[in-house]
Amino acid sequence: MTNAPEDFEAPEFDLDAELAETDEWESGYADADPEEQTVGSMELAERHALRRVVGLSTELEDISEVEYRQLRLERVVLVGVWTEGSVEDAENSMAELAALAETAGSQVLENVYQRRDKPDPATYIGRGKVEGVREIVVATGADTVIMDGELAPSQLRNLEDKLKVKVVDRTALILDIFAQHAKSREGKAQVELAQLSYMKQRLRGWGSSLSRQAGGIGGRGPGETKIETDRRRINDKVAKLRRELAQMKTTRQTKRNERRRNAIPSVAIAGYTNAGKSSILNRLTDAGVLVENALFATLDPTTRRTTAEDGRIYTMSDTVGFVRHLPHDLIEAFRSTLEEVAEADLVVHVVDGSHPDPEGQLAAVREVFAEIDAGSVPELVVINKADLADPLTLARLRLREPRSVVCSAKTGEGIADVLAAIEADLPRPEIEIRVLLPYSRGDLVSRIHDKGDIVSVEHTGDGTLIHARVSEAFAGELELYTLSGT
C-alpha cells in the first residue's frame, strides 16, 4: 500500500536504458576495442575506479556514496624549506611536491616555502613560520600539512601539537603512493618493508597505554610498555618480510643467471618518474604495460624479450622511477628490483625533455645509480617528450650528453633512432668463428642467429658456411664444426 494517487501509474523500469546512461562514465578504457585492450589499460581502469571527489565525507551516514567507492580528497597545505640552490630550484621542488600530493589523492590548497641556512631542529620551519602556517590551515580549512623534507620524530610531534592537524613529510607521502600502486606480491612486500622501517622510528605512546603491568605474585612492577610491544611486533614483521624478499630475490637471480648462461644481453630502462619509461617500452616491444600521466604510476618491473635487426635476442626491462631525495628505506627495500639496473648490459636513461629542470633529473637518477653500484654500466640517454620540449633545451641537452637520442613516445618521432642506438650499444660476442655446419644441424644455425653476431652466411655443397661472433661457451659447442685456422 502506498500514498500515491489511484490513477498513478509507475514508470516501467528498463535495465538496459539505465545502464546506457553510465556509458559516458570514465572507466580508463571505455572507448577501447575489447580486442585491443592490454593489461596496462585494464590496470588503469581499475585504478580509476577508485576516484576521489571534493567535498564528500567518508562518515558512516554517507553510505550511498561510499558504495560508489568514492573517497573524500584530503585538503593539504605544502610547506618547504629552501637551504641551497636558486629560487627556481625551490619552486621546482615545490611543484614536484604538489604533483606527488595530487598523485596520492589530495587537493592542494596553498604552498609556502622559506629561505633558511638549515632546518630548525625543533619544528623544521621555525616558531614564527609555524604560527603563519597555522593561520593558513585555519583560513583554508586544510586537514593535512605536507613538509618538503624528511622530518625527525620530534619535529613531527612538535608540528602536529602546534598545527592541530595531521603532518606528513615527503618520505611518508612517497611511501603512500607506492602502497597505492604496488600490484605484485614482491612489490607489496617491498613497500610494506619500507613503511615499517619508516614507522619504527616514529612510534608514539598515548597516556596510560605507555605501560602495562601483570597481576599476581612475581608479576608486579613495570611491564612491557605499549610502545615496546609495537616496536617488537614491527621488528618481527620486518624480519619475516626480509626472509620472503630473500626467497623472491633467489628466483629473480635464477632468471638472470639463465639469461646470462644463454648469453642474452639485457637492457634496463631507468630514469626519473613520469619521464615516459613505460611508454617507450610499449613503443619498442608492444609490452602493453600501464601508462598514466602520474608520478610512480608503474612500480613492478616488466621484462620483455625482443629481437634486434640482425636477429640477436635481448631483453628489455622497465624499472621503478626515481625522484629527488628518494627515501633511503625505499632504496633498501627495492634493492632486488633495482639490481635489474646494476646487472644490465646497457641502461637506457630516460629524461623528460619538457621538464623545467632536466639536468636536475639526470643528476638525481645518477645519484641512485651510484648508490646501487650501477655507475659503471654503459648508459644511453633518451630525451623523451620532444613534441612538448623547447628546441633550445633539446639542443642544450644534446650538447651536454653526447651519447643521447631525442624522441617522443607519444607521437613515435625518433623511436627508430632509439632502437638503432640501443642495438648499436648491445655487447658483442667476443669469440670470432668460421664453421661449416651440415644441413642436418639447422638447430645450430638457428642458435647462431639468435645468440651470435652474424658476419656472413654462405650455402655450399657441403653445408652452411657461417662467419660469426659468439660467446666463449657457445664456441666450445661448435668446436667440432670449426674450420682450421680460426
Residue 224 placed within a domain: no
Full residue range of the structural domain in which residue 88 is found: 71-178
Q: Is residue 366 part of a domain?
A: yes
444 shares its domain with 316: no
Identify whether residues 351 and 457 lie together within a single domain. Answer: no
Residues 460, 409, single domain; the answer is no
The pLDDT of residue 57: 40
Residue 74 pLDDT: 83
- Does residue 25 fall inside a structural domain? no
| 420 shares a domain with 435 | no
- Better-predicted residue by pLDDT, 68 or 125: 125
Q: Looking at the predicted structure, is the pLDDT value of residue 26 above 50?
A: no
Q: Do residues 343 and 438 both lie within one domain?
A: no
pLDDT score, position 14:
55
Both 84 and 173 in one domain: the answer is yes
From 400, 425, 450, give the residue that closes a domain. 425
Q: Which residue in the block uniquely carries the three cell numbers 558504495?
A: 67
| Bigger pLDDT: 49 vs 441 | 441
pLDDT band at 478 (very low <50, low <70, confident <90, very high): confident
Same domain (yes/no): 292, 358: yes
What is the tens place of the pLDDT at every residue in 158-181?
A: 999 999 999 999 989 988 888 887
Provide the percentage of residues in the chain whose pLDDT is more than 70.
77
**Of 178, 209, 235, which marks where a domain is finished?**
178
Q: Say if residue 20's pLDDT is above 80.
A: no
> Is the same domain home to 457 and 333?
no
pLDDT for res 58? 39
pLDDT value of position 27: 41
Question: Using CA atoms, how far apart are residues 152 and 174, in angstroms rounded to an integer?
Answer: 16
Are 337 and 444 contained in the same domain? no
**Domain count of the fold of the chain:** 3
Mean pLDDT of 201-216: 55
Q: Does pTM surpass 0.75?
A: no
Residues 174 and 317 both lie in one domain:
no
**162 and 122 assigned to the same domain:** yes
282 and 364 inside one domain: yes
CATH at residue 137: 3.40.50.11060
pLDDT of 438 higher than 70: yes
Q: Which of 143, 161, 178 is the last residue of a domain?
A: 178
